[in-house]
Amino acid sequence: MSSPEKRSIEVDFLRGIVLIVIALDHNLSGVLQHAMLHTYAYCDAAEVFVFLGGYASASAYLSVCVHRGESAARRRFLKRAFEIYRAYLLTAILMLGYSAALTPLPILNIAADASWKSFLLHPVWTLIDIALFRQQPFLSAVLPMYVVFALCVPLTVPLCRRRPLRALLISLAIWLAAPWLGGKLPSVGGEGWPFNPYAWQLMFTFGTLCRLHPIQSGIHLSARGKQVTIAALAVVLTIASVKLCVDAHPAPGYLKQNLSGVRVLSFLSIAWLCAQAVRLGWVRALAERMPGVVTAGRHGLVCFVGGTILSISADVFLRIAEMNEKGGHLFWPMRLNADVLIIAGLLFLGKLAGRCKPARAPTLVSQGGAHVPHDRHLHTNECREMVPPA
């Protein structure tokens, strides 16, 4: 487990992989989307990304808290919520722009949805509804949930650190009530948000708790730990068999919207096995061989927005090419090439974002013979008590 001062290369690598998977999943005309997680499990990249978001948020909050105090950490996540909100508005506008550009074309417009139809009738009110989260255009719908999570981090991280069981029980209670609570969220059609934050906060809480209270290696290696590993493997293989041989049809949307229990079970089983791979050093070995994926994971917001553009552009290109192809069928090499270009585009975006992001160097002052970052509201000792052992 890395300290809060140092980023986890494993987490950044996994976030980069998930960003690539999300982009490939949204290229509905591609080849690789059929080999992604949703084909073999009842969960998909969304669960992994939210879990890692909770993990990374807890780590970032502790890091700022240790160096600059709790007030600075709270300000940082207020700023982060605003950054995510801006990314949401940008993505929503891009989706409307894509809908406008693609509507004249005789192809299925995957970017067009109720928001675009509403915009044609009531442009001003539609933009207001989008700004207030009452309408969330295609591919931008996951970001409002992250705005809520970022605002709640200053409350959830201290609670998860000091009262982990209480935090988990509260999170479970909210998750159980999520279908009812989600109906109270502002939405034009009254169906709630595409991603119900009352439900998905459970996944975010799991990530936070795993960062603050990591499972020790001794537990993994114990007899009980080995039994859990065998059970997790059995669940993963059983679900994969069911998905491949019995239930190959997409699950109803409300199961994902409200994070159904079967999705939670499927994710937790995969997460436990992934934890074993991290413990054995397999994930770190892969990360060190693929630094571009790690860099993309460190700039998730930029790569997510860019990934939406890449995936829709690739899908539209393939659909147009298919129309012009004899027999209306496009051979798989071109579809695969589009997937490869999406991956290359995301890696380039991550590299570009890494070069453009300025380095932050905290101001150091002497305190008791050591140099610590200066902040007039510094509560270093109190914050360091929140940091779990490495």
DSSP calls for 320-355: HHHHHSGGG---HHHHHHHHHHHHHHHHHHHHHHHH
Is pLDDT at 364 greater than 50 in this prediction? no
According to DSSP, the residues that pair with 373 across neighbouring strands are 364
Is the distance from CB of 46 to CB of 15 less than 8 angstroms? no
Range of the domain at 352: 9-384
**Over the stretch 38-49, which tens digit does the pLDDT of each residue have?**
889 999 999 999
Q: Is 6 helix (H, G, I), strand (E, B) or coil?
A: coil
pLDDT class of 189 with cuts at 50, 70, 90: confident
Across 266-272, average pLDDT: 96
The answer to whether residue 4 is domain-embedded is: no
Of 99-103, 183-187, 255-259, 318-322, the one with minimum mean pLDDT is 99-103
Q: How many domains does the chain have?
A: 1
Token readout for 352 is 């570009």
**What does DSSP say about strands 364-367 and 370-373: parallel, antiparallel, or unpaired?**
antiparallel
The answer to whether residue 389 is domain-embedded is: no
* Neighbour-count burial for 142-163, b at 16+ CB within 10 Å, e otherwise: bbbbbbbbbbbbbebbbbbbee
CA dihedral sign, ordered 240, 242, 244, 248: negative
d(CA 26, CA 9): 26
The answer to whether residue 222 is domain-embedded is: yes
**Over the stretch 110-143, which tens digit does the pLDDT of each residue have?**
555 667 778 888 889 989 999 999 999 888 889 9
The answer to whether residue 226 is domain-embedded is: yes
The answer to whether residue 2 is domain-embedded is: no
The answer to whether residue 18 is domain-embedded is: yes
The DSSP letter of residue 94 is H
3-state helix, strand, coil in the chain (%, to 5): 70, 0, 25
pLDDT class of 379 with cuts at 50, 70, 90: very low
The DSSP letter of residue 388 is P
Is pLDDT at 330 greater than 90 in this prediction? no
The answer to whether residue 3 is domain-embedded is: no
- Other Cβ atoms closer than 10 A to 101: 12
Most confident of 54-58, 361-365, 384-388: 54-58
Is pLDDT at 68 greater than 70 in this prediction? yes
The answer to whether residue 390 is domain-embedded is: no
